[in-house]
Amino acid sequence: MQRLDKFLCDCGIGTRSQVKVILKAGRVKVDGVPQKDGSAKVSPESQSITLDGQLLVQTGRIVLLLNKPEGYVTATEDPVERTVMELLPPELKNAGLNPVGRLDMDSEGLLIFTNDGEFANSLMHPKHEVEKTYLVWTTGYTPGAEMRLSRPI
C-alpha cells in the first residue's frame, strides 16, 4: 500500500503540487470511483487507478546520466532559456525525472536525472556529505585556484 499522490508522482503525472490540482479536479479514479484525497492508501497491484480514463502503471526507479552541453539551464521549466529537460529522449519526458544538483548554463558535464526523490536527496543534502569534484579551466591566472574546499558542497 502506498499514498495515491506518491503513486501518481512515481508514474510521472507531475510534481506534488501538480498532482494535488489533478486530484482536486476529480480526474483520478480508483476502481472506477473518483478519488480527491492524495493521502488515500492504494495498492496498484490489485486496484485499477486511472487518470482521465487511462490506466496508470508505475514505472519504477529511473536513473539517467546525461552529458549536459553549454547553453542549457538545469531546471525543469524556464520561460526564457532552454532547459536540460529538452535534452531527454521523448519516451522519458513524462517519466517524472528531475535533475539532481545544478550546473550553470555556461557549464558542461555529467548531470544525473532521477524520479527517485530519496535517491536525489541522498546525493544533494549536506548531511550525507557526498563529495563532488569540479574541474575548471580558465584563461589567465586565478589567485587561490589551488584552494580546496574544507567541506563537501
Catalytic residue among 52, 78, 104, 116: 104
Residue 17, Cα to own-chain centre: how many angstroms?
A: 14
Active site residue 116: no
**Rounded CA gap, 61 and 145, in Å?**
39
Q: Which residues contact 55 (CB under 8 A, 6 or more apart)?
A: 48, 49
SS3 of residue 86 by DSSP = helix
Q: Coil, strand, or helix at residue 89? A: coil
Q: Which residues participate in catalysis according to the annotation?
A: 104
